[in-house]
Amino acid sequence: MRAPAPRWKTAFMHPAAKPLLFVLCLLPFAQLFVGAVLDTLGANPAEALLRATGDWTLRFLCVVLAVTPARIALGVPALARFRRMLGLFVYFYATAHLLCYAVFDQGLDPGEIWRDILERPFILVGMLAFSLLTALAATSPHRVIRWMGARRWQWLHRSVYAVAGLALLHFFWMRAGKNDFAEVAVYAAIVALLLGWRLQRWLRSKRRLA
């Protein structure tokens, strides 16, 4: 007879696990919202909001990319239950980031935004990342997955790695003006590690089939 799974593993199947994670994912937004209302975001609250929402988009993206490696490495299949919600939180923070930019930086002027996209490559790259994320979020409902078919859906959703690459380039380009790459290097290392893990598994499965 197989030994029962340890308690920490079964906790991920608890009915309260998903609502709890939902609340946890909303905490950074709540903190920023309260900071904006109480005016505790520093001398330039608009910039603080823009930067913090950009940082949280990238952090959630790293968490989403880590779900499958963590599920396999730790032997916790239940972790897959949270991937869709975490992916939608990437989109939530990316939308908040884009809104901060459109409202505070560009005064919601479509002409100004268009000019900025053409003038500043890091904005163009951010927009490309956001467009891809929009396609991923739009195809996340179960009925769309059924309509697309698993293979096509999986193929499209692999572009989450392209989103990560574009997001890193966006961050790198933005920091290049300030010659400050320390944080970019940390995120790049995390994404490279997660991508490397996928690549190594894919190569191993190819070799097994050959």
Angle at 107 between CA 102 and CA 113, to 5 degrees: 50
Check binding of 49 to ligand HEM (CB under 6 A): no
x-marked contacts with ligand HEM along 5-44 as a string, rule CB under 6 A: ----------------------------------------
Check binding of 50 to ligand HEM (CB under 6 A): yes
Decide whether 123 or 194 has the Cβ nearer to ligand HEM. 123
Check binding of 55 to ligand HEM (CB under 6 A): yes
CA distances to 93, 129, 190, 193, 202 from 74, rounded to whole Å, are 28, 30, 18, 16, 19
x-marked contacts with ligand HEM along 130-169 as a string, rule CB under 6 A: x--x-----------------------------x---x--
Check binding of 98 to ligand HEM (CB under 6 A): yes
Exactly one of 97, 169, 190, 194 binds ligand HEM (CB under 6 A); that residue is 97
List residues binding ligand HEM (CB under 6 A). Answer: 47, 50-51, 54-55, 57-58, 61, 94, 97-98, 101, 105, 123, 126-127, 129-130, 133, 163, 167, 170-171, 174
